[in-house]
Structures are given as structure tokens and as C-alpha cells.
Structure 1
């Protein structure tokens, strides 16, 4: 691939992030990624950054080399903190107005096709996609099984994988967050791929953020382990499994639990947990506040079996927490032996047993190893260096070859080889 020095020698480029999965009030991995990327671009590159996201109104804010564009979109039913852009004409107008050199699409629905449409009229534009969630399995199959049963869900999943193959063939380069996801794309015939590990701000997420008064501030007892989960409180993240697990913990363990975040299951779980030492403080927008919550806890818990990376897991480990989760998705990569305990997906009893076993063992040593692994292996500087120095140049080279080969004419895509 093109070298780091060659890409940095380019004139100032305009990079565009395009996503449905943004919320200013509910956090999430993509929101974290957008914020960290903005800081990296402004601090470490000469480039400009356009970020197009859903919002309550149409608004464009230009601050120096950063352009933040919100497109008015309706709220997602059941997830009011998130919005879904249907007005793709507005997105295409923004792309035509600013004419980015590289478009990075961060979600699979509707907006990637706006990027593809834009390239028909501006064929030199390089398209990069992040396959950040194995959505045919994590979204389509899961919801299909709940609504229609196993057989229709498998059919819907197969159709979704065909859609993914059709979509990502349009992109000059695709990155995944895990080797498993990269292998899945290879099976679909998508071979212009890279694995892009995400990062953690180890200066913010540190055991030093621990607050001895945190439990008291939540009205929780001071004895026993404090379990914590941070993320969307919804079906995809299997937040209900955590409450089921908590009910199965031995009473003598004296555990408490805090579930940080918001989502469609939050009100339901609050009602179901009445009388238990379980609290739901809502979304913590301040990163230092989230680090305080994590570092002041003892064990991080997660029930999601389809996690593709797990930024919240890495942030918890950076704060010195061992992890109890499930052996599915990216969790075995994030939580190898010695950093926590994993059990079968969906098994609340096994998860409760793992919490008790971990707490009764040398959990402090395990947490120290988790901190060491997180700070050694995951760094935002490394993430964005790979993105800007390897992935973007590869996409731009392919875009240049495509234009030289004459596969595009104004407003129309020609078949390869025409």
C-alpha cells in the first residue's frame, strides 16, 4: 500500500464521515469513534473533516477544518436517542456542496448508497466502508427470529448477506473490526479489506479515576462487588440477561450493579429490578464521568454475543476491571484467559457463577493484567495512523485506477472492462 509519507505529502484533503449511528445523548461506539477521529484530524493531520449525521434539524457548523453537518431525521421508534435519515437527497446535496476526496461510510443502511450515487458524478471520490457490525446476524437474524421464528430468520439473514455483498462491492476498500468479520466478507467475495482495531484513551480511562464515594452517591451498599455495564440498554446488547444474571448471584456475595446508558429496555428493567441493589443512572456524556463510574466498580459485565469490537470493554479494562461476558463475537479476542471469564451466550446462571468465581479469586491481579493488555494493544493514535496511512491511500489508489480505466462517465456507471 501507499506509504505513510506519501499520503501525508498530499494536499489538504477533505475526509467525510457518513453515518446513521450517531447520538449526542446516548453515546455508543460510533459516536466515540467520530469524536476521537475529529481530535486526531485536527491535532495530527493537515486535512479537513466533514461529519454528516442525523439530528433534530438541518444544520451545518463550520469550525476551522471541522465541518459538522446534521440532517433532520425522525426518531427511531423505541430508541428516541437515535434518529434515522430518510432524506437522502439532503445528504447528496451536502456531498455535492463539499465534494469530499474520501467518504467513509459507517453503517449499512441507505446512506452508503448516497455515497455510491455521489461517486457517479464525482468518480475520483474514494469510498471506504466500515463493516462495524455483522448486521445480517446481529440485527436481521435476531429480530427475525423474535418476530417470525427460526426458519424465516435464517432466510432473512441469507438475504441480508447478499445485500452486504452487493453493497460492499461498490466500495474501494472495506475495513472490519475483527478477523472473523473480515473472513465473513471474504466468503462473500469482498477481498479489498483490512482489520482496523479501535482504541482507548488510557489517560482518561485509568484506575486513578476511582472515586471512593461513588457507591454512596448512587445509594448502593459498600460491601461486595460492584458490577457495571456501560452501553445501550436494549435487546441487541442483551441488557435483560444482566438482570437475570444478577438475580442468580449468591445472596452472601453482597453484590450491587450499575447499568450506565439508555435504551428501549431501560424503563422495563428499572421496574423489574425494584427492591434490588441495581441502579440505572442514565447516559454519562462526560468521558471523565464514565471513567469514574468504571474505575469505581469491580467487575465489568456484558451479555452481548455479537459484539464486533467492544469499545466499552476496552475502556473498562483500561480502568483495571476484569470482565465477565459470553463466548461469542469479539469477546474471546477482548477477554482472553487471565483477563476475565466467559460463558455460553444467553446463559444467565453460568454468568452468575463466573461473577462469583472471579470475585472469590484474585480479581485485583486480573484487573491489573486487563489494564496492561488494554493500554498495550489498543491506542487511538495507532487506529487512525492505520486508517490515514494505509486504508485511505489504498482506496484512493483504486479510485485513481478506476478513473484512468474510464469505467465512469458523467452520471453513469459503466461495467468493469467497458
Structure 2
């Protein structure tokens, strides 16, 4: 056994999202490497916790032994600077930052400023900070006062996959992401409305319970545009492999991604990508494997989709490049190796 790690995670670890998926996989891989990983549940409500959630988090941390190594998911770490400060001399904190809390889409200016200040203060108390992409690391250095010496990157792993055979019929456009503002499914739908003259079907896979108002507005917009027979909202799906295998194009209009695990998975399955150049997406998707446009630009997004649909030969060339890029992505064991080195450094 290498050592004991307490992994503090708010909410339900089984939640189907990229961040929680990352947490689940690194727990399994760190255990395989010899770490004794103890899941430390924190209350729901983060990253905007109420007094009860903060009290619950404080109680959970107070119950740990002196000198304990604690990896804290950034969804909670950046939102509880006072709780972290109270335990910083007694515990060894490592912060896992998927993406800065203040960059979530839809926040009002005051909330964004408050979250940025909260996270900047909390990060002062971390011995080491792990991000899931070089882009997020650069953001923390540039705007959160984090020294590079305390930073490391452990990008998400990607399972190798066979090249998707595709639909074989009408091209299928696949989007995977929770129905929340940051994923900008509304931009995708607006783009689809501009290419009604072409043959395509679209499947949007993702949790529709994270933001019921956004989900309802999206359903309404699809109906208003007369796309109900071509766009399917599939909800959350346990196994997305068959979705990738049955698709011809991956299209997600996220305004910002701390990494973009679904983009990496699309590449691994050999799907050409249409996306937005927000956050780490340009680091994940090479230019030969897809087209990235400015976030929120439905016109440019539609033009990129039109190009792929109207030019099958170019689409197939991009698909081959995507699959090649996907095979070069790191494995989850490599992710855990990187994280393990950082954890050891924090304890040194």
C-alpha cells in the first residue's frame, strides 16, 4: 500500500457528468496503484453552499486524523475557503480543479466575482493543485495567483475504441452533455434549424434534471422550430458507447470546457467534431479532426455542420484523423500515475 488518501467529493458520486466520471475513475485507478482511497462524502449544494452544507463539510474534515492527505474536488474546495483555512495546518490539502467555478455559464456578474474571490483564497491553502487540462492550469496562473510550482496536470484518460461504423443511412449528429447553460445546446439547435435542407438526424444525450428550466426551454425551442421529428433528447444514458458507434458527427457547442471528456471520447471513436473554441477544447481537438468556431456563434456552427454533411469525402478524412488522434490520448492509468506523483509530492 502506498498510503491513505481521503477523497472529499460533494453530492452524489454516481452523478453522470464528466467531473464525477473523472472522480470515479481515478478512485479505481489509484486503488489499483496501491493507494487506500477513502471516499469522504460532502453535502450537496456546492459550489453555492448554504450554512448547513458548509457546516457539514467542516464536520467531515474535522473527523479526519492529523496529517491526513485530502484530495478535494474543486466543486467544493473553491467554495469553502473558511472551512479549508481552519484545517490547513492540520491536514494536507490537494485541490482538484476541473475548471474555475466563476467561469460557469449563466452566472450574474456579482456571483462570478464572488466565486472567483472565494476560489482564489481557498487555493492558497492547497499544498498542491491538480487541473484536468493545461488550459485550466494557465487560467489559474494568469488569474488566480497560483504558482506553477504548486500546479500539475492530470488530463482525463480515454478508453481506446474501434472506429465508429456510423449510421449507414441518414447522417446522425451526436451531442453529449447535461442540459445546462454552459453546454449551449440551444446554439446547436439554432444551427440545425439553418441546415434543414440537408439530410440529418440529431441525438442529444445528457441529464435533463440538472437545470429543469434550461431543459424545458430547449424542448420548447425544438418544437417551435419544427425539429421535433429530427432532434431527439435522450436524457442521461449509462453506456454511451453505442451512441458514438451509431453517429457520424460529434457536435457540442459548449461555451467553456475544463477539458472536454466527451470530445476526447468522440475522437477515440473516430467522429469528426464540430465544437466551440472555449476553454480546453482547442487543446483536445486537432484542426485536422474537426472545426471549432467562436462560442455562441450559431451561424458559424451551422456552416461547419453543412460542410461536413455536404462533403462526405472531407468528413471521412476528418473521421480518420479523429480516430488517429484518439488513439494517442492518455489512458486512465496514465492519469492516475500523474495524480499519484502529485499526491506524493504534497506529502513530501
Q: Same fold (TM over 0.5)?
A: yes
Output the aligned Cα RMSD.
2.8
2:19 is matched with which residue?
30
Q: Secondary structure at the match of 1:257?
A: strand
Is 1:201 aligned with 2:159? yes
**1-side partners of 2:29 and 2:154: how far apart?**
16
- When residues 87 and 331 of structure 1 are mapped into structure 2, their CA distance, relative to the original with a 3 A threshold, is closer
Gaps of 5+ in 2: none
**1-side partners of 2:81 and 2:157: how far apart?**
24
What CA deviation, in whole Å up to 9, does each residue of 1:300-339 have, x standing for no partner?
1111121110011111111111110112211211122101
**2-side partners of 1:313 and 1:93: how far apart?**
38
Q: Which runs of 4+ in 1 moved over 6 A?
A: 74-77
**Number of residues paired by the alignment?**
332
Q: Is contact 1:295-1:316 (8 Å) kept?
A: no
1:379 is matched with which residue?
331
1:280 is matched with which residue?
233
Gaps of 5+ in 1: 1-10, 55-70, 78-82, 145-152, 213-221, 398-418
* Equivalent residue in structure 2 for 1:189, among 128, 135, 145: 145
**1-side partners of 2:191 and 2:154: how far apart?**
33
Q: Is contact 1:19-1:52 (8 Å) kept?
A: yes
Is 1:129 aligned with 2:79? no
Matches within 5 A, 1:40-189: 40-45=29-34, 47-53=35-41, 71=43, 73=44, 86-99=52-65, 101-106=68-73, 107=75, 108-111=77-80, 113-120=82-89, 123=90, 125-139=91-105, 142-144=106-108, 153=109, 157-187=112-142, 188-189=144-145
Distance apart, 1:158 and its partner CA: 4.5
Larger Rg: 1
Q: Is contact 1:223-1:254 (8 Å) kept?
A: no
Q: Is contact 1:21-1:30 (8 Å) kept?
A: no
1:267 is matched with which residue?
216
TM superposition score normalised by structure 1 = 0.72
**1-side partners of 2:51 and 2:263: how far apart?**
29
Q: Is contact 1:12-1:48 (8 Å) kept?
A: yes
2:5 is matched with which residue?
15
Is 1:246 aligned with 2:213? no
1:370 is matched with which residue?
322
Distance apart, 1:277 and its partner CA: 0.6
